[in-house]
Structure 1
Amino acid sequence: MQSIQTPIIPLIKELIKNNPGTIPLDQGVVSYSPPNTAIAAIQDFLAHPQEHKYQATIGIPKLLSGIQKKLRQDNQINIGDDNCIVVAAGSNMGFLNAILAITHAGDEIILNTPYYFNHEMAIGMINCHPVPVQTDDNYHPQIDELRKAITPKTKAIVTISPNNPTGVVYDASTLREINKICQETGIYHISDEAYEYFTYNQVKHTSPASFPHSTPHTISLFSLSKTYGFASWRIGYMVIPKKLLPPILKIQDTNLICPPVISQYAALGALSADDNYLSEHVSAIAKVRESILQKLQDLPATCTVVVPDGAFYCFLKVTSDLSDLDLVKRLIDTYKVAVIPGQAFGMNDGCYLRISYGSLTLENASLGIDRLVQGIKELTV
């Protein structure tokens, strides 16, 4: 455990706490609350006393049925004899379930860099090895480099699309090629799709598990935390090959016994929310995104911003003599704006910053980016 990186979010939150008035562009959360249908479903839960007891390890039947319908309609993923759904306490738990089920100690999991820090941390915690593979200048996977990284100890390639931390959306052809590599080499494709609904400018999200013949080697991870404002409710789910169900049942029963049933009821209610609930919130975030991208044009020419088509992040490359963590600390202390240093995402060669804007109003976003741009200009001269 001593070799695992210290979680960056609590560190940044402590710095924010010590600097009142800081605008948070750090943690990946949304500003809106769960839909009314989710709140109403909790009342249904309370009306059934038997639901306060342990329930099925993989999730309550009516939620599994609701998720199956959603997967068919929104992701073109069909649940049949060869795959199944497992509800978890968030997609982070789903990821940990998956890698515990498919690895021996010392095995390798390939991550596209920049990676999601909790993935890298989880791999290390189970005594396996993350293998970072650098993406291209636009943060898209490099297929040839992924092929080269595969060894006899490789058990999976992980993709995140829409991406955290870059906001990049991988096109279907790239995901199909990665999925094919996994099929050919006998490893798994772990697809993290927590931001599936957050895409802009008619860009479409693709689920690798929708590809023909992908079921035996594809593990898909989904979350309600962002989509329905459920961050603290801890509900997500995974779609797995049926052959992985026995080990995952052991893992989940040991760790969790069953997903929190009150949150499962809320999740079922959320899935029945009117389509306008999500479309209106994503449209509001899209306006914030446009405002931020406009203001980021005022950054010095030495800064690089790849325009993101998804999630609610921007990833900046900054030319600076400061380390990215030192720059983050100075931005909080002097300019009252908080972002995440790129080193948390495996970017150790250069100075990178992740901006998160999902929780901001237009007004706060404007003020926060103004502070960020001013700080970068004055601290990197």
Structure 2
Amino acid sequence: MTLPRTAATFAPPVMEARRWLEGVAFSDEKPLLNVSQAAPVDPPPVALRQHIADTALNVAEAHLYGPVLGLPELRAEVASQWSAAYGGEISPAQVAITSGCNQAFCTAISALADQGDEVILPTPWYFNHKMWLDMMGLTSVALSTNAALLPDPDVAEALITPRTRAIVLVTPNNPGGVEYPADLVAAFYALAKRHGIKLIIDETYRDFDSRPDAPHTLFGDPDWSKTLIQLYSFSKAYRLTGHRVGAMVADTSLLAGGEKFLDTVTICPNQLGQHAAFWGMRNLGQWLAGERAEILDRRAAITANMPRLTPQGWRLMGVGAYFAYLEHPFEMPSDKLAPALVRDHHILCLPGTMFMPKTDPAGKKQLRIAFANVDRDGIATLFKRLSQARY
């Protein structure tokens, strides 16, 4: 009997990790430090929640079907703000609103590729990207990164075949945290353009990039839409994870194909979430700047605490946005180590094996820490507990 496509991939990693909590007793003296998921646990700011409530009460059409590609005013706002931020020309017709950034990725791939095609993913990869490619019957071609978790365009070029449809970059990176330099992103863009394939850049964490200027200048190319697809999430910026609002910026012909996918899957994005995202873009710039400053301070706290671990052989491979990616010093593989850390030290994090091909042994030496919901004191506690680990 032929198995369904969903059988071709692994179980959702975050859900799997939560099962490690079963049977473990935590206490007030030693509570669980959950650094497994890259999502804010706090609700949106009060002003935004009030706007959502007002919209729910007073905007009747917010409860009805809306345009498949999203509210026109939100598409226009993204186009306007992105054009200013990246120094390029983006039209509202080149913006689609999706039910989260994951759906933006699924939409892009569905409009681009057919069964048996190939997509290049730098490793460690974002596991939901790999899962969707598996379920689409596509081949994920692993692109190894260097010691700083940066991919090499020359190595990527050697992986391109007639079946290659896209290269995917995530910056700031999930799971590695690293911010890809603008010249590196430009080199990948030139590579994709030269070979007539797409460069998909997932910028879910762009609001927490440490650089004051635009992270790349690709939208400055008048022909950007022939090569570039950019993905974004409103969830992290405005704490709208439960409302599922993302965006895709791409050529209008690709969005026409994507519209077929979106109409079949969700018909339209969440209306209340879209109204919230639009209001947030218009009114929460100063608040978001404060959120960014807090995340950058926690990033600094990760770096400041690393000397507690380096004498034992730990190594900080990457840090940025919501993530720190660590190499551990133990013989125990990370898929065994991560559950042990829950049991022995009350730390829930994800093993590198969840972000790497099974054939790549490097994942067994790696752990991902998602620190968006752990303040400076919590980070200090995390590193104290890690320093006590012996396996």
Compute the TM-score of the two structures, normalised by the length of structure 1.
Answer: 0.93
Tell me whether 1:102 sits opposite 2:107 in the alignment.
no
Cα deviation for residue 329 of structure 1 reads 0.8
Provide the rounded CA distance (Å) in 2 between the counterparts of 1:203 and 1:86: 25
Structure 2 partner of 1:75: 86
Cα deviation for residue 246 of structure 1 reads 2.0
Structure 2 partner of 1:349: 361
Structure 2 partner of 1:57: 68
SS at match of 1:197: helix
Pick which of 170-179 and 273-282 moved more. Answer: 273-282
Aligned-residue RMSD, C-alpha: 1.8
Identity %: 26
Tell me whether 1:117 sits opposite 2:127 in the alignment.
yes
SS at match of 1:306: strand
Structure 1 partner of 2:160: 150
Q: Which runs of 5+ in 2 are unaligned?
A: 1-5
SS at match of 1:205: coil
Provide the rounded CA distance (Å) in 1 between the counterparts of 2:252 and 2:345: 52
- Aligned pairs (5 A) from 1:114-193: 114-193=124-203
Tell me whether 1:220 sits opposite 2:230 in the alignment.
yes
Pick which of 24-33 and 332-341 moved more. Answer: 24-33
Tell me whether 1:11 sits opposite 2:16 in the alignment.
yes
Compared with structure 1, are the counterparts of its residues 7 and 64 closer, same or farther at alpha carbon in structure 2 (3 Å cutoff)? same
Structure 1 partner of 2:373: 359
SS at match of 2:206: coil
Provide the rounded CA distance (Å) in 2 between the counterparts of 1:259 and 1:84: 16
Instruction: Specify which of 269, 278, 281 is matched with residue 268 of structure 1.
Output: 278
Compared with structure 1, are the counterparts of its residues 233 and 143 closer, same or farther at alpha carbon in structure 2 (3 Å cutoff)? same
Provide the rounded CA distance (Å) in 2 between the counterparts of 1:195 and 1:99: 20
- Aligned pairs (5 A) from 1:288-367: 288-299=298-309, 300-308=311-319, 310-346=320-356, 348-350=360-362, 351-367=365-381
Equivalent AA in structure 2 for residue 148 of structure 1:
A
Structure 1 partner of 2:99: 89
Q: Which has the higher helix share?
A: 2
Pick which of 286-295 and 321-330 moved more. Answer: 286-295
Structure 2 partner of 1:237: 247
Compared with structure 1, are the counterparts of its residues 141 and 219 closer, same or farther at alpha carbon in structure 2 (3 Å cutoff)? same
Compared with structure 1, are the counterparts of its residues 201 and 107 closer, same or farther at alpha carbon in structure 2 (3 Å cutoff)? closer
Tell me whether 1:286 sits opposite 2:296 in the alignment.
yes
Render the CA deviation track for 1:234-274: whole Å, top value 9, x for unaligned: 10000011111221111000001000101111111111224
Equivalent AA in structure 1 for residue 32 of structure 2:
T
Instruction: Specify which of 354, 370, 375 is matched with residue 384 of structure 2.
Output: 370
Equivalent AA in structure 2 for residue 64 of structure 1:
R
Cα deviation for residue 46 of structure 1 reads 2.7
Cα deviation for residue 208 of structure 1 reads 3.4
Cα deviation for residue 37 of structure 1 reads 4.4
Provide the rounded CA distance (Å) in 1 between the counterparts of 2:343 and 2:118: 39
The size of the alignment, in residue pairs, is: 375
SS at match of 1:33: coil
Structure 1 partner of 2:3: none
Q: Is 1:179–1:214's contact at 8 Å kept on the other side of the alignment?
A: no
